[in-house]
């Protein structure tokens, strides 16, 4: 039977930790009872440098339930994406399948069973997708939707309305670990892995207790990081703009020359206006061109795996990667 690890990043979550632990333990027990996961499946709390009693509570839970509750203590606060990665990479050698979920239980634990079923049906990655955003404020809803749209325009493949509530098989996490980049944006990286994937749908709730650890500033940083880590399109946009301005400068030249010959202009205006347009366009073009090379260097230094092998058929035996 497959051993499940539920990975939960926690930053100053003392108000919810005990509840979360209880709810997730119940989920595990239920699935173990139904023989869908191994009896030694567990929850892995990752304490992301909390300043409150979060770690003490994790320790308490671990001594009360040594098999079911495990913990990782990060030496300092590194942020949600890194904390989650730390948890997944720690869990991967201890289990067959992982599910990541936030500590605040906003994501519906009821669909965990469905995720496991889809895993058993042959999916390596199962995305938890929010059905609608009723519980969000108007502001959060519109900014989030704008964000997904912008990501799409920039050519970053993400799953619409999916945050980091997700099942990943051990081999998917193994492939993920080959992405060595430091600027992490998991929602963009996981779809790069490949494998058979599926979605489960749920309604997102209010936080059980406590406050959001993602203020607007962190949200904007995440959004910008998502785009700048995945797309060199902004650079191409500069190049395109440069070309466009040079085209405009041709039109401006026609206009300026016509004005010049019909004699309605101040001395020196024609040469001045032509230089402004043409040089402006030329500069943007040059910056964009240099940018193309920088973009390539950027992609090269990431050293992302160029492909992920799923299966090899040979004369000897069939092997899964
Ligand atoms: N989190 C973390 N490190 C941080 C900020 C947040 O590990 O620096 C965790 C947090 O404990 C929670 C998850 O990331 O489990 C999502 O945070 P939150 O629920 O505050 O975000 P929101 O749902 O409001 O977007
Ligand atoms: Mg939350």
What are the backbone angles phi and psi of residue 97, rounded to the nearest 5°?
-150, 145
Measured between alpha carbons, how far is 93 from 60 in angstroms, rounded to an integer?
A: 24
Measured between alpha carbons, how far is 208 from 103 in angstroms, rounded to an integer?
A: 9
**Residue 238's Cα: distance from chain center in Å?**
25
41-61 tens-digit pLDDT: 999 999 999 999 999 999 999
How does residue 319 score in pLDDT terms, banded at 50, 70 and 90? low
Measured between alpha carbons, how far is 68 from 25 in angstroms, rounded to an integer?
A: 7
Verify whether ligand 1 is closer than 6 Å to residue 186 (CB atom): no
> What CATH class does 4-230+305-320 carry?
alpha beta
> 4, 113 in Cβ contact below 8 A?
no
Verify whether ligand 1 is closer than 6 Å to residue 11 (CB atom): yes
Measured between alpha carbons, how far is 2 from 145 in angstroms, rounded to an integer?
A: 36
> Can you give the chain as a three-state secondary structure string?
CCCEEEEEEECCCCCCHHHHHHHHHHHHHHHHHCCCCCCCCEEEEEECCCCCCHHHHHHHHHHHCCCCEEEEECCCCCCHHHHHHHHHHHHCCCCCEEEECCCCCCCCHHHHHHHHHHHHCCCCEEEEEECCCCCCCHHHHHHHHHHHHHHHHCCCCCCCCEEEEEEEEHHHHHHHCCCCCCCCCHHHHHHHHCCCEEEEEECCCCCCCCCCCCCHHHHHHHHHHHHHHHCCHHHHHHHHHHHHHHHHHHHHHHHHHHHHHHCCCCCCHHHHHHHHHHHHHHHHHHHHHHHHHHHHHHHHHHCCCCCCCCEEECCCCEEEC
252-307 tens-digit pLDDT: 889 888 888 888 788 888 888 888 888 999 999 999 999 999 999 998 988 888 88
Model pLDDT, residue 321: 58
Name the residue among 123, 86, 74, 104 with its Cα closest to residue 5. Answer: 86
CA angle 48, 165, 176 (to 5 degrees): 75
> 224, 120 in Cβ contact below 8 A?
no
Nearest CA to ligand 1 atom 17: 213
Verify whether ligand 1 is closer than 6 Å to residue 27 (CB atom): no
Name the residue among 272, 101, 131 with its Cα closest to residue 199. Answer: 131
- Give mean pLDDT, residues 134-150: 79
Measured between alpha carbons, how far is 231 from 158 in angstroms, rounded to an integer?
A: 12
Please, what is the average pLDDT of the chain?
89
Model pLDDT, residue 320: 65
100-139 tens-digit pLDDT: 999 999 999 999 999 999 999 999 999 999 887 666 778 8
Tokens of 145: 């939707």
Measured between alpha carbons, how far is 78 from 11 in angstroms, rounded to an integer?
A: 10
The domains of the chain are located at 4-230+305-320, 233-302
Distance (angstroms) between ligand 1 centre and the Cα of 80 equals 6
* Stronger pLDDT, 102 or 308, i.e. the higher one: 102
| Residue in 7, 8, 11, 101 to alter for ligand 1 test, most ligand atoms within 8 A of Cβ | 11
Atom of ligand 1 lying closest to residue 79 CA: 8
């Amino acid at each position: 039977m497959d051993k499940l690890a539920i990975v939960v990043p926690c930053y100053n979550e003392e108000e919810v930790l005990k509840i979360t632990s209880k709810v997730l333990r119940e989920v595990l027990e239920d699935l173990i009872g139904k023989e869908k996961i191994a009896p030694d499946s567990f929850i892995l709390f990752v304490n992301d440098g909390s300043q409150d009693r979060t770690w003490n509570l994790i320790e308490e839970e671990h001594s009360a339930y040594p098999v079911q509750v495990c913990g990782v203590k990060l030496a300092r606060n590194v942020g949600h994406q890194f904390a989650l990665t730390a948890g997944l990479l720690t869990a991967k050698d201890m289990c067959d399948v992982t599910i990541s979920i936030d500590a605040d239980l906003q994501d519906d634990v009821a669909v965990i069973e469905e995720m496991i079923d889809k895993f058993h049906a042959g999916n390596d990655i199962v995305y938890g997708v929010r059905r609608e955003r009723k519980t969000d404020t108007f502001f959060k809803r519109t900014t989030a939707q704008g964000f997904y749209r912008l990501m799409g325009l920039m050519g970053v493949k993400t799953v619409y309305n999916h945050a980091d509530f997700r099942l990943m098989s051990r081999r998917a996490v193994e492939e993920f670990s080959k992405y060595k980049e430091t600027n992490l944006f998991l929602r963009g990286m996981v779809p790069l892995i490949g494998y058979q994937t599926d979605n489960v749908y749920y309604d997102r709730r209010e936080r059980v207790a406590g406050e959001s650890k993602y203020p607007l500033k962190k949200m904007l940083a995440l959004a910008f990081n998502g785009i700048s880590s995945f797309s060199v399109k902004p650079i191409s946009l500069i190049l395109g703009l440069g070309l466009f301005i040079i085209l405009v400068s041709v039109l401006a030249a026609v206009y300026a020359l016509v004005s010049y010959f019909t004699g309605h202009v101040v001395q020196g205006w024609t040469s001045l206006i032509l230089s402004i347009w043409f040089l402006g366009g030329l500069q943007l073009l040059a910056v964009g061109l240099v940018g193309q090379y920088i973009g390539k260097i950027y992609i090269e230094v990431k050293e992302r795996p160029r492909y992920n092998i799923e299966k090899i058929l040979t004369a000897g035996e069939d092997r899964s990667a």
